[in-house]
Amino acid sequence: MRLWKRELQVLADELAIVITVCHLPPGTSKWNRIEHRLFAFITQNWRGKPLLSHQVIVQLIANTRTKTGLTVACRIDASVYKKGIKVSDGEMAALNIQPANFHGEWNYTFTPRPPNA
């Protein structure tokens, strides 16, 4: 979570925009109506098909359509990401992050930091 927050601050700084994050409380994502409707169709779409490769999985997911017309955009992210990146307490203290009044641990806003002179 520390790396996520640091990188969101970097993005806010680079784009010079305010970024607000609102997480669903733990365990509630499965009750998100759109996710729930969509994942049921994804599961139906690949039922009985061997998931032999990432490409097969991506194609099955990308070809999913709900009865109401909801579609899926899906692609493989072939980027290589460094593991074990540590964010220091000093980096965390330098974030321009404001927790929301309601559950600030889940909801917070990043404001761009002034550019270095």
In a domain, 27, yes or no: yes
- 21 located within any domain: yes
Residue 37 has pLDDT above 90, yes or no: no
Residue 115 domain-assigned? Answer: no
Q: Which residues contact 82 (CB under 8 A, 6 or more apart)?
A: none
**Residue 62 pLDDT exceeds 90:** no
Range of the domain at 80: 2-110
Residue 116 lies in a domain: no
pLDDT at 30 (0 to 100): 59
Question: How many C-beta atoms lie closer than 10 Å to residue 9's C-beta?
Answer: 21
Average pLDDT of span 30-51: 76
Q: Is residue 100 part of a domain?
A: yes
Specify if 55 maps to a domain. Answer: yes
Predicted model pTM? 0.64
Residue at 57 is within a domain: yes
- Looking at the domain assignment, is residue 60 inside a domain? yes
Predicted local distance difference test score (pLDDT) of residue 21: 94
**Cα(52)–Cα(54) distance, rounded to whole angstroms?**
7
* Calpha distance 104→56 (Å, rounded): 40
Mean pLDDT of the residues in the chain: 87
Report how many domains make up the chain.
1
pLDDT at 28 over 70: no
Q: Across residues 37-63, what is the average pLDDT?
A: 85
